[in-house]
Structure 1
Amino acid sequence: MKRRHLLGLGLLGVAGAWALRPNDLGRPYAPYFESLNTQLKADTDGLPVLLLDLDRLDQNAEVIRRLLGNRLQLRLVVKSLASPGLLEYLAKRLDTQRFMVFHQPHLNQLARSFPQADLLLGKPMPVQAALGFYQQLPRHSTFAPDRQLTWLIDSAARLQEYAELAEALQRPLRIALELDVGLHRGGFADARSLSQVLQRLQRDKPNLHLQGLMGYDAQVAHAPPWISTTEAFAQATARYRELLSTAQGFSEIWPEQPLLNGAGSLTYPLHSQLETPLNEVAVGSALLKPGDFDSDLLQAHQPALWLASPVLKVVDGALPFVQSAQGLLEAWTPNRQQACYLYGGHWPAQPVAPEGLAYDELYGRSRNQERLISSHATRLRVGDWVFLRPSVSEGVIGEFREIRLLRGGQLVGRWSTLPSV
């Protein structure tokens, strides 16, 4: 009796474990992606491509317009929207000519493409790169950096370098001071260090014209569980206000209409809804909402950017050296029934269509021929297109020479891109 009892428990254990087998996650294309698959088969050069849904982009832009209202100015972040056509489209739709730039070649490109723009550096630029900007600026350019470009200063040492650059160029340079409001990525973190550079500016009067402050608060969106987002936001804005008060004390050099920049895609909604010391926010990725920007604060935004790659091969899901175990693996999970190989790969992106595709953790990633596994229910064939959602747009857009545009689910145009940082 005891042996039969133990045997029964063993069988129940096996049955219970078997009941935990993964479900078949495979599905054919949803209609939206089925239509895109058909279009790409008929109208591409067979290379991986970025797709931008203009309808979703418009909806995201409207969310930003509604939240900011007339309370805060908007500055578009170039590295996350790295296409002249995309930047021009958004600048018109959101009525802004303010851009935040992180790459010296982008700086020269925007000076050519947007000669009326107001440009703010989003990171401190090596002084050699700053010199390169002036050397590459066409002699008869209508872009006037003395009025339209603001460099970012994060330390007393960099202030000295830019003072020497201004003297060498024999021209004024506009500057903003970077604040550390809790991210701890550099910048002026306390009143003492900030006062020292302000005293230098006021005393020595180098040809550097102070425009205001910039403080990025990305840490607020990633606050640990023991600190609420609201509390983290309050800490960051309190630090900003404290340093702003210090700067305002230097009335001789403090501008009448200061630039008070901050926020970012993950925190701009907080600045639009709560008390903030800022008068402008920088936003980029929220307009495209790649995967890393899925957050409660961006629930009203929709994914608008896809990466598509053609399927080169569809084979069974066998792994090297363990082909004999393939039957057991498929019996455990139908989601290993087949593997497909893409043109290119190792992008920071997750497969979304057809449903049920996944990276093969047992096989590894590939930059040349990415392997995805799935069940037969996806119905993938050689020549079909797999659609992935980028985790970020920064850097990804620049990997492609163009973005294909969608309107009403149909391919309607193309925009060129800017090179990656």
Structure 2
Amino acid sequence: MKRRSLLGFGAIGLLGAWALRPSDQGQPHASYFAALNQLLRREGGGIPLLVIDLDRLDQNADLLAQRLGEKLPVRLVTKSLASTGLLNYLANRLGTQRFMVFHQPQLNQLAQDFPQADLLLGKPLPAAAALAFYQQLPVASTFIPARQLTWLIDSPQRLAEYAELARALKQPLQIALEIDIGLARGGFASPEQLGQTLQWLSDNPTPLRIRGLMGYDAHVAHTPFWVGQAQAFAESNARYLAFLDSARSFPTLWPQQPLLNGGGSLSYRLHAAGRTPLNELAVGSALLKPSDFDTPLLAEHRPALWLASPVLKAQSGDLPFLGSSQTLLQGWNPNRQRAFYLYGGQWPAVPVSPAGLDYDPLYGRSANQERLIGSNHTALQVDDWVFLRPQRSEGLFAEFSELRLLRRGRFVGSWVPHGRGSATY
């Protein structure tokens, strides 16, 4: 009797474990991606590409403009929108010529493509990179760095280096001071340190001209529960104002109309909705909304960027060395029934259509033929297309030769990414 009871409990345990096995997540393409799949089968060219949905991009840009209104101009973050065509399109729609730049070669390209632009560095560059900008700027360029370019200074040492650079170039350099308002990623650490630096600058006249401040508050969007987002935002703004008070105490150095830059895609809505010390906001990824920007503050923005790749092989989801255990493994997890090999891979992106696809942790990733697993219900065939959603756009554009433009279900053109063949940051 005891033995039968143990066997009975064992059988119940096995049935219970089997009942907890993964459910079948596989589905064919939903209508939006089914139509895009057919379009790419006809016009995709057979190689991986990036697709920008212009209708969704417009909705995101209009939502941003509506929230900012007339009170906060937008500065487009070029590392997330690394294409002259894309930047020009958004600049026209949003009525701005302000750009935030992070990479010296891209800086030179923007000075050429947007000769009327206002360019602000989004990170401090070595003085050698700044020198390269001036060396590579064409003599006939109508871009005037002394008025249109603002370098970012994050420390007394870099301030001294840029002062020396300005003397060597025999021309003034316009600078903004990076302040740490809670992100703890560098910049002047306290209003006192900023004041000491400005005192040095006051005592040692240089060709540097202060334009304003830049403080980044991305940490606010990821505030832990024991702090709370409202409190973190208030503390960040209070720190910004403390730095501003310190800077204002040097009226001979501080401009009457300073640039007070900050925000970002993750926090722009907080600045737009409430009190803010800023007079402009830097925004980039909110307009394309890659998956790393799936936060409550961006819930109304829509994904507008897809990575598409054709299926090279569609076959059984078998793995090496497992032999007859394959059947048990696929029975336990129906989402391992099929394997699909893509053209290219190892991108910072997650599969989104057909539903139920995933990377295979037992097989590994590949930059040549990425393996995805799924169930029989995905209904994918060779030469169908799989759609992935990039986790971020920065650094990704340079891996592709063009950005294909989708409008109302049709391709209407393309844009060329910046830095094709080399990463842009």
What's the TM-score bracket when you normalise by the shorter of the two chains? Answer: over 0.9
Give the corresponding residue for 1:12.
12
- 2:239 is matched by which residue type in structure 1? R
TM-fit CA distance, 1:398:
1.8
What do residues 342-368 of structure 1 show as CA deviations (whole Å, max 9, x unaligned)? 111110100011111100011111111
Kindly report the root-mean-square deviation, in angstroms, between the aligned alpha carbons of the 2 structures: 1.0
Secondary structure of 1:231's aligned partner: helix
Read off the aligned partner of 1:381 and give its amino acid letter.
Answer: Q
Matched to 2:122, the amino acid is: G
Residue aligning to 2:172? 172
Q: Give 2:134's aligned residue.
A: 134
Q: Where do 5+ consecutive residues of structure 1 fail to align? A: none
For the residues of structure 2 that align with 1:191 and 1:270, how far apart are their CA atoms? Answer: 24
How far the C-alpha of 1:320 sits from its partner, in A, is: 1.3
SS at match of 1:239: helix
Instruction: Work out whether 1:245 is the aligned partner of 2:245.
Output: yes
Identical columns (%): 63
**Letter of the aligned partner of 1:390 in structure 2?**
P
Q: Distance in 2 between matches of 1:45 and 1:5?
A: 64
Amino acid at match of 2:218: A
SS in 2 for 1:212: strand
Matched, 1:22 2:22: yes
- The aligned runs of 1:102-117 (5 Å cut-off) are 102-117=102-117
One-letter code of the match for 2:178? E
CA deviations over 1:222-256 (Å, ceiling 9, x no partner) = 22221111111111111111111000110111101
Question: Which whole-Å CA distance do the structure 1 matches of 2:157 and 2:318 have between them?
Answer: 58
Q: Partners of 1:346 and 1:323 in 2: how far apart? A: 28
CA distance in 1, matches of 2:125, 2:32: 43
Give the structure-1-normalised TM-score.
0.98
2:200 and 2:403 mapped to 1: Cα distance? 47
Whole-angstrom CA distance in 1 between matches of 2:225 and 2:62:
32
Distance of 2:409 and 2:223 partners within structure 1: 37
Q: Which residue of 1 aligns with 2:330?
A: 330
The residue aligned with 2:48 is: 48
The amino acid across from 2:235 in the alignment is Q
Per the TM alignment, residue 325 of structure 1 is displaced from its structure 2 partner at its CA by: 1.1
Aligned to 1:198: 198
Which residue in the other structure is 2:415 paired with?
415
Report deviation, 1:192. 2.0
| Structure 1 counterpart of 2:144 | 144
* Structure 2 equivalent of residue 84 of structure 1: 84
Instruction: Identify unmatched segments of 5+ residues in structure 2.
Output: none
Q: Secondary structure at 2:324's aligned position in 1?
A: helix
Partner of 1:399: 399
Q: Indicate the SS of the match to 1:362.
A: coil
Report the residue type matching 1:210 in the other structure: I
Structure 1 residue aligned with 2:363: 363
Q: For 2:266, what is the secondary structure of its paired residue?
A: coil
1:340 aligns with 2:340: yes
Please state how far the C-alpha of 1:128 moved relative to its aligned partner.
0.6
> Any idea what SS the aligned residue of 2:79 has?
helix
Q: Which stretch of the first structure deviates more once superposed, 6-15 or 147-156? A: 6-15
Structural mapping, 1:151-162, within 5 Å: 151-162=151-162
SS at match of 2:289: coil
Q: Secondary structure at the match of 1:261?
A: strand
Match of residue 64 from structure 1:
64
Partner of 2:390: 390
- AA matched with 2:361: E
Secondary structure at the aligned position of 1:99 is classed as strand
Q: Which letter does structure 2 place at the counterpart of 1:162?
A: Y
- Comparing 37-46 and 186-195, the one that deviates more: 37-46
Superposition deviation, residue 18 in structure 1: 1.2
State how far apart, in whole Å, the 2-side matches of 1:260 and 1:323 are. Answer: 64
Distance in 1 of aligned mates of 2:294 and 2:205: 46
AA matched with 2:317: G
The C-alpha deviation readout for 1:139-197, integer Å capped at 9, x for no partner, is 01111111000000000110011001100110010000000111111101112210122
Equivalents in 2 of 1:332, 1:90: separation in Å?
49
State the alpha-carbon separation in 1 of the partners of residues 64 and 75 from structure 2.
11
How many equivalent residue pairs? Answer: 421
Post-superposition offset of 1:277: 0.6
- For the residues of structure 2 that align with 1:301 and 1:323, how far apart are their CA atoms? 47
Q: CA deviation at 1:397?
A: 1.4
Distance 1:265 1:411 in 2: 28
1:211 alignment counterpart: 211
* Deviation of the 1:10 alpha carbon: 2.0
SS of the aligned residue for 1:392 comes to coil
Q: Specify the code of the residue in structure 2 equivalent to 1:39.
A: L
Amino acid at match of 2:383: G
Question: The residue matched to 1:197 in structure 2 has which SS?
Answer: helix
Q: Provide the rounded CA distance (Å) in 2 between the counterparts of 1:58 and 1:201.
A: 45
Amino acid at match of 2:82: A
- TM-score, length-scaled by structure 2: 0.97
Aligned residue identity for 1:258 = P
How far did residue 15 of structure 1 move? 1.4
SS of equivalent residue, structure 2 residue 314? strand
- Within a 5 Å distance, the mapping from 1:211-360 to structure 2 comes to 211-360=211-360
User: Which letter does structure 2 place at the counterpart of 1:197?
Assistant: T
Indicate whether 1:380 and 2:371 are aligned. Answer: no
Give the CA deviation at 1:7.
2.5
